[in-house]
Amino acid sequence: MVHGRDRELRVIGHFATDLDPTVLVVRGLSGIGKTSTVLHALKQVGAGSSAVRVVRPCSSRPSAHDLDNSRRVDLSAWSVPDDPADGPGFDAAGFLRAVSVWAGDGGSGPRVLFVDDVGVLTAERARWLQHLADEAYGQDWRVIAAVRSIAVEPLSDDVEVLELGPLDRMSLRRALATEMSAPVAADVVEHLRWWSAGNPRLALELAGSLSAAELRGDVSWAGPETVGSAARRAYRAMLAGLDPATMTALATAPLGAAAARRDGRSSVRHPLLALLCKEVRGADGQVDGRDALAPDRDVTDAGALLRILDGLHLEELPARAWAAVAAVPDPHLAARAVGVSLMTGRTWRDHLAGSLVPDGVGAEWTDHLWWRDLTGVGAEARAAGARVAEALLCLEDTGDLPDPGALRADLRLIGPTPGQDWVGVDIQVRALLTLGDVVGARGLLADHSGATPDRAVAEIVARDLAAARVAAFDGRAVDVRAHLAHATELRPSVDAWLPARGMRASADAVVDGTVPGSTMPAQAGSWSARVLGEYAADLGAAHLVVGQAEGAVALLTIALEHCAWPYRGRVQVRCDLVESVMASTPPGRVGPRAQRLLDPPVAPEERSTPDVAAAYARLDALLADDGVPSVAFETALHAPSAPMSPWQRVRMLVAYGRYAVTRGGRATGNAMLDEARTLVRLAGMAGWLRGIDAFLAEADASGGTGPEWEVLGTHEREMVKLAVHGATNSQIAQATFVSERTVVNRLRRAYATLGIRDRRDLVRLAETRPPAWLAGG
């Protein structure tokens, strides 16, 4: 597999199809990818069966292979023991004839002889290669040779040298992802790249010695303590050529520090070569540098625990984060432990019997939760920070928020302050979304998202999670997936965190129509009440998108019981619940458990932004009384108080369409759902198509096209209601102040609209499939 070799592939491809009588020598350390690069380039230019790879040319048993290594021919008859240059009788023409006969016609592709495994290109081997190339050119063959190093300079003018350099980070990451069964964290890839000097084979050898936790970054990895066999082969010749002074200098180089920096300033170009020098000097009794490479596993020290939490090496913790703080009271450590616990959603203080922090930490720990640098932060903001921490920890434990107004005021004091920590920003963003303040959340994220090179892994992941939450609140599912992908690239274990799993399930449903899988959370019992509620809300939203309204009702009911203040905002989650209930429950049959959660008081501040206001209008329309929902939906759709986003308009159209079809207004509902189909295709939300189709199929299965109750006008509805309850035409005329003839004409029009013949059909239809305005009337 070739990764990140575009320039080299172009050079090799150009050489293979050029007419110049030259030899191309591809040079690079063992494991750098010479063979795979050449083979890939030849396949790209269509060499196919017209190209031949010669293996072990400088041995007594050379052989020729096709590019796929599916055919082989022995070339021992043309070999020369020890070194081909030592045999003056080497028959290059016969060698090429044998290869040509074996290769056959070869089709229309370029005829390329790829001489692999030359090793060190000595002067003798260079002459032999030139002799072979001269003969090959006469028989219309081009020659490419792969060598580890060149012992003689300069080479002939007829020889071109292509140096294969190290792979860049992204290319090495792709190579590791192709070969390894476990995901590899981005910073671990950077470690592997530094230690291997970008050599893919050496990086794979190093990665193969790591545990799954080390590959994911859940446990830190400082570097190897011994050199593997691939590295010994790669650096054998280089090690043998070092003078004693150079070997000693490399052996004493601070490899651990250089690897930890990963900033490109280290003078050690081949760190595994330096490690080999340490081994040699250690065996001689002169230098032993291995202690510098051993990772620090002492987790009883506050500094070590901070490094673990900052790097999200969470499997190194001796217990849950807060248990570690209780053992080592330190304000910085306490702040990071709380921040990481709130970010991941893990329960954090189940053993503290209600106390906010362990004894000995001190009240100032909350300062470090929000700020990296307290310069310019006043006493009022710091006091607000302490109150916010207490309120959010209460929310974490109980799922409730006693005083949302006070939380809103305190967040306004913290937000503008400088020097904030991104973990604290993530916590504030989630709190603002909880209060329905998406504008404040976006602004906070923008104000504090500037690039800072010394941010810890925990902070970088926190920034992505905060951005994902804002995108989920806004309905930007593609952005949700992008932010989560960036976070999981740095720490693959983020994928297992309940907050990320919920957001991903919801985003996948919107973008692709993916039906959510099992709802069982990993490590059940380890998550806070708040996170369980938010996870259920995300899954419920996903079920609603794909048309599984009954499943959505159950999940959203559980969500609001666990967390009355989810990050998606009370208005939007409650609107999802109402819509699910209306889509899955016959009119007037809402269960008491769901009914209890449908219409709680919602403060005006929670619906101040246009999208939340649109969701609230949808909620009002769904819960409106007799005959009003259509008018309420029309008002919310066509005369909203503020422009709504495409996401909210889709939600409005789908809700209106489902509501109308469920209550007999099939023509009205179809028009709304057709407009929604067009909009979701344009807006990248095609997952909604699955839910719309599932809903319509279910509606057809339960009763065909259905009566068009919603098409009836106000006067016709009044007369139909009286007729259903047994009033005669004369009584209806008296009650509605019109003539009896007018009653007859309007009832006939109503019968035609509903697809029935007479009053008996009307009564039967009203009993079996009543509209909302008729039920109970």
* CA torsion through residues 426, 427, 432, 436, sign: positive
Q: Which residue has the higher pLDDT, 269 or 147?
A: 147
Split at pLDDT 50, 70, 90, the class of 362 is confident
Query: CA triplet 587, 589, 592: central angle to 5 degrees?
Result: 135
Mean pLDDT within 613-637: 74
Sign, CA dihedral 382-344-181-220, equals positive
In this structure, of 235-239, 307-311, 425-429, 585-589, the range with the lowest mean pLDDT score is: 585-589
| End-to-end Cα distance, the chain | 72
The rounded distance, in Å, linking the Cα atoms of 638 and 634 is: 6
Identity of residue 550: E
Has residue 106 got a pLDDT over 80? Answer: no
46's CB contacts (< 8 A; 6+ apart) are 108, 109, 110
The total of other beta-carbon atoms located within 10 Å of residue 678's CB is 10
Structure token pair of residue 571: 């208005």
Q: Are 280 and 261 in contact, with CB atoms under 8 Å apart?
A: no
Mean pLDDT of the chain: 83
pLDDT band at 285 (very low <50, low <70, confident <90, very high): low
The residue-averaged pLDDT of 273-278 equals: 88
Which pLDDT score is estimated for 412? 96
Ranges of beta strands (E only) in 158-313 are 159-163
- Other Cβ atoms within 10 Å of 574 Cβ, number: 25
Cα separation, 489 vs 494, in Å, equals 9
CA-wise closest residue to 694 among 509, 521, 481, 489: 509
Evaluate if residue 141 carries a pLDDT over 80. Answer: yes
Residue 458: both structure tokens together = 């925990």
Give me the amino acid identity at 534: E
Model confidence pLDDT, tens digit, residues 40-63:
888 888 887 778 888 887 777 788
Q: H helices within 399-447, ranges in order?
A: 404-414, 422-434, 438-447
- In angstroms, the CA 337 to CA 344 distance is 11
Structure tokens at 125: 């081997």
**Interatomic CA distance for residues 482 and 467, integer angstroms:** 10
Contacts 24+ apart (CB under 8 A), 126-131: 126/150, 126/152, 126/155, 126/156, 126/159, 127/85, 128/83, 128/84, 128/85, 128/90, 129/23, 129/25, 129/159, 130/23, 130/156, 130/158, 130/159, 131/90, 131/92
DSSP 171: H
Give the Cα separation of 240 and 228 in Å (integer).
17
Region 635-662: what's the mean pLDDT? 83
Cα-based distances in Å from 128 to 101, 118, 441, 582:
22, 11, 71, 84
Q: Tell me the pLDDT band of 633, cut-offs 50, 70 and 90.
A: confident
Q: Is the pLDDT of residue 293 over 60?
A: no
> In this structure, what DSSP letter does residue 724 have?
H
The pLDDT of residue 653 is above 70: yes
pLDDT of residue 348: 58
Distances (CA, A) of 381 to 223, 336, 413, 426: 43, 19, 5, 17
Under the banding of pLDDT at 50, 70 and 90, the label for residue 283 is low
- What's the pLDDT tens digit per position in 405-455? 999 999 999 999 999 999 999 999 999 999 999 999 999 999 887 666 778
Phi then psi dihedrals of residue 73, to 5 deg: -135, 140
Task: Please report which residue ranges of 45-122 form alpha helices under DSSP H.
Answer: 92-103
The CB density around residue 86, as the number of other CB atoms within 10 Å, is 11
- Give 477-511 pLDDT, tens digit per residue: 999 999 999 999 999 999 999 999 999 999 999 99
Structure tokens at 323: 């248990």
The mean pLDDT value for 713-735 works out to 88
Q: Are 735 and 727 in contact (CB under 8 A)?
A: yes
Per-residue confidence (pLDDT) for residue 359, from 0 to 100:
64
Say what the pLDDT of residue 237 is: 81
Q: Is the pLDDT of residue 246 over 50?
A: yes
Is 659 within 8 Å of 669 (Cβ atoms)? yes
Q: Does 107 have pLDDT greater than 90?
A: no
Which pLDDT score, from 0 to 100, does residue 289 have? 43
Closest CA to 311 of 300, 321, 319: 321
If one compares 93 and 736, the residue with the highest pLDDT of the two is: 736
- The bridge status of strand 63-65 relative to strand 72-74 is antiparallel
Report the candidate in 92, 15, 16 with the shortest Cα–Cα distance to residue 52. Answer: 16
Q: Is it the case that residue 151 has pLDDT exceeding 60?
A: yes
- What pLDDT score was predicted for residue 371? 94
Per DSSP, the three-state class of 117 is strand
- C-beta pairs of 295-298 under 8 Å, 24+ apart in sequence: 295/220, 295/221, 295/222
- Which long-range contacts does 304-307 make (Cβ < 8 Å, 24+ apart)? 305/333, 305/337, 306/330, 306/332, 306/333, 306/336, 307/220
Tell the residue number behind the tokens 């545990």, with chain if given. Answer: 211
